[in-house]
């Protein structure tokens, strides 16, 4: 079969690439839904309820609105520049500052790898529980997590087609688990076991005002909404990204937002807020109350395994494509842009990110007593909110850059609101654990040091070059 010509690619909203395009609209939708669902909602519902009481659905709605506003900015940029690398690419195009681009790239990579590493540990612990292996030591869990992460790398190396197929299976199981919670809630409601009067009750701990309580709860809930931004890093592996991204991203965020709100409403209506806040597995309590006798204790660990495995797979896909894309733009060392000619996968970037993830799993285990593991989820959302602020500003900055294709254009008010809202939720007034800022600070410090190494590695190429097309031409043209 002949390959599309340059004109054919342009007509499809595609640019020639070394990577293999396998994702159509349905696969893209499943990718986005699977990445957003993740594991956050399984544990966060109880924590959110502890902050705002029965109105636990409200912070999820606020988080949904912020995510949707920022998604419009991503949609304008991914349809304008349909390439791998996402936020880092947009930052590089908008501001042309090598250091800022590198830090954004490193920050997004860290958010993905920390999320994937946390998910890998969760796979290890839940698998041992599901298999009835009680009392397994910490390092047994770590060993299982390391093996799992190695398997994720093998799937990614095998090819994006195989990775996407695995994502389909994991997403469907993950989605089925949450839909089962909703159905259990409906069953309980018809059986008179639900008290929906609790859903309208607002209760905040201590002397917090309603505004501060909702702010703190939204900062928690936002972790459950991140993930939609990972999809833009797959732009070079998506068919007709200019056409497919707007429809599928908006649909994906909307689907997950509705699911989260329904889960929050039924959870609070069935289980008292005090019990939810004290439980590490609040959704298990919902099933136990709604369906007495159902063996949720035997099933839930495996549902969780599918959910967290999907998070790890997608985050590692994102991280490797991010490094590949920025290596092509000379922001990172050139070897990270190497692609397997047979599998058409960025092998160097996959191996590099896997090694970092394996090291992080071991490192956070050594710091387990300091609460590092518990703070990684919040650190992930903190880092991404900072990146989202920059992306929203980049949209406005790049309005003056005219491209020769039709693309999505967000209403101007949305990136302005997005930048303000995301910047607000980065601040300490949200009630974040100070440890999250400490972890983020150390990660950024490492990023600064690595920038100096990368800058020296890439010399004598001048870092002042800001035109991405010129950077690509220096390497022999866009692939």
Q: What pLDDT shows up at residue 372?
A: 66
More confident residue, 34 or 478: 34
Which pair of tokens denotes residue 159?
Answer: 């090819």
Residue 16: pLDDT over 70: no
* Banded model confidence at residue 398, pLDDT cuts 50, 70, 90: very high
Q: What pLDDT shows up at residue 89?
A: 85
The answer to whether the CB of 317 falls within 8 A of the CB of 166 is no
Angle (CA) 399 380 90, round 5°: 20
Cα–Cα distances in Å, from 295 out to 179, 301, 449? 17, 11, 51
Give the tens place of pLDDT for each residue, 58-68.
899 999 999 99
Q: What is the mean pLDDT of residues 464-478?
A: 38
Residue 126: pLDDT over 60: yes
The answer to whether the CB of 48 falls within 8 A of the CB of 218 is no
* Banded model confidence at residue 227, pLDDT cuts 50, 70, 90: confident
Q: What is the mean pLDDT of residues 444-461?
A: 76
Largest interatomic CA distance in the chain: 73
- Residue-averaged pLDDT of the chain: 80
Looking at the DSSP assignment, which residues form a beta bridge with residue 202?
A: 53
Give the tens place of pLDDT for each residue, 280-296.
667 778 888 888 877 77
Q: What is the mean pLDDT of residues 197-207?
A: 80
The answer to whether the CB of 466 falls within 8 A of the CB of 96 is yes
Residue with tokens 């190695």: 150
Pick from 338, 309, 18, 7: nearest CA to 166: 309
Residue 3: pLDDT over 60: no
Alpha carbons 303 and 153: distance in angstroms, whole number: 22
Q: What is the mean pLDDT of residues 222-232?
A: 81
* Banded model confidence at residue 467, pLDDT cuts 50, 70, 90: very low
* Banded model confidence at residue 4, pLDDT cuts 50, 70, 90: very low
Alpha carbons 455 and 92: distance in angstroms, whole number: 15
Give the tens place of pLDDT for each residue, 404-422.
878 889 999 999 999 999 9
Which distant-in-sequence residues (6+ apart) come within 8 Å of 296 by Cβ? 284, 287, 288
More confident residue, 210 or 348: 348
Give the tens place of pLDDT for each residue, 58-96.
899 999 999 999 999 999 998 888 876 778 889 988 998
The answer to whether the CB of 331 falls within 8 A of the CB of 102 is yes
Alpha carbons 35 and 307: distance in angstroms, whole number: 9
Which distant-in-sequence residues (6+ apart) come within 8 Å of 251 by Cβ? 29
The DSSP result for 95-152, as a single string, is H--HHHHHHHHHHHHHHHHHHHHHHHHHHHHHHHHHTT-TT--HHHHHHHHHHHHHHH
How far apart, in Å, do the first and last CA atoms of the chain sit?
Answer: 19
Give the tens place of pLDDT for each residue, 21-38.
777 888 888 888 887 886
Alpha carbons 278 and 339: distance in angstroms, whole number: 48
* Banded model confidence at residue 458, pLDDT cuts 50, 70, 90: low
pTM attached to this predicted model:
0.81
Pick from 386, 392, 390, 377: nearest CA to 427: 386
Residue 7: pLDDT over 70: no
């Amino acid at each position: 079969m002949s390959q599309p010509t340059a004109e054919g690619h342009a007509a499809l909203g595609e640019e020639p690439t070394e990577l293999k395009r396998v994702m159509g609209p349905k696969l893209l939708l499943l990718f986005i839904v699977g990445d957003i669902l993740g594991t956050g909602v399984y544990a966060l519902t109880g924590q959110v309820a502890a902050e705002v009481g029965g109105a636990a659905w409200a912070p999820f709605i606020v988080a949904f609105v912020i995510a949707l506003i920022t998604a419009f900015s991503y949609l304008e940029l991914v349809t304008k520049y349909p390439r791998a690398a996402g936020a880092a690419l947009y930052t590089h195009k908008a501001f042309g500052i090598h250091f800022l681009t590198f830090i954004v790239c490193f920050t997004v990579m860290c958010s993905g790898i920390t999320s994937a590493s946390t998910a890998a540990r969760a796979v290890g612990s839940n698998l041992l529980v599901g298999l009835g292996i009680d009392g397994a030591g910490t390092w047994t869990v770590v060993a299982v997590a390391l093996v799992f992460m190695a398997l994720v790398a093998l799937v990614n190396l095998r090819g994006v087609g195989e990775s996407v197929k695995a994502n389909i299976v994991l997403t469907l199981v993950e989605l089925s688990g949450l839909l089962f919670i909703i159905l259990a809630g409906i069953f309980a409601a018809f059986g008179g076991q639900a008290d929906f009067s609790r859903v309208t009750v607002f209760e905040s701990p201590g002397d917090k005002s309603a505004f501060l309580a909702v702010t703190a709860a939204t900062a928690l809930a936002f972790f459950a909404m991140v993930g939609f931004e990972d999809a833009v890093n797959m732009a070079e592996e998506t068919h007709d990204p200019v056409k497919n991204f707007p429809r599928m991203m908006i649909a994906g965020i909307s689907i997950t937002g509705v699911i989260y709100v329904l889960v929050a409403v039924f959870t609070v209506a069935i289980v008292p807020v005090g019990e939810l806040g004290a439980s590490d597995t609040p959704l298990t309590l919902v099933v136990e109350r709604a369906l007495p006798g159902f063996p949720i204790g035997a099933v839930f660990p495996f549902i969780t395994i599918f959910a967290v495995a999907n998070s790890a797979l997608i985050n590692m896909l994102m991280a490797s494509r991010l490094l590949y894309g920025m290596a092509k733009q000379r922001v990172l060392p050139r070897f990270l842009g190497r692609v397997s000619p047979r599998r058409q996968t960025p092998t160097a970037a996959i191996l590099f990110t896997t090694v970092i993830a394996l090291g992080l799993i071991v490192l956070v285990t050594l710091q387990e007593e300091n609460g590092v593991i518990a703070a990684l989820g919040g650190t992930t959302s903190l880092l991404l909110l900072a990146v989202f602020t920059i992306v929203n500003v980049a949209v406005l900055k790049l309005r003056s850059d005219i491209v020769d294709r039709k693309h999505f254009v967000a209403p101007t008010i949305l990136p302005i609101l997005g930048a303000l809202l995301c910047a607000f939720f980065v601040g300490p007034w949200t009630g974040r654990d100070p440890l999250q800022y400490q972890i983020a600070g150390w990660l950024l410090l490492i990023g600064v040091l690595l920038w100096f190494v990368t800058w020296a590695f890439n010399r004598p190429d001048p870092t002042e070059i800001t035109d991405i097309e010129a950077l690509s031409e220096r390497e022999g043209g866009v692939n």
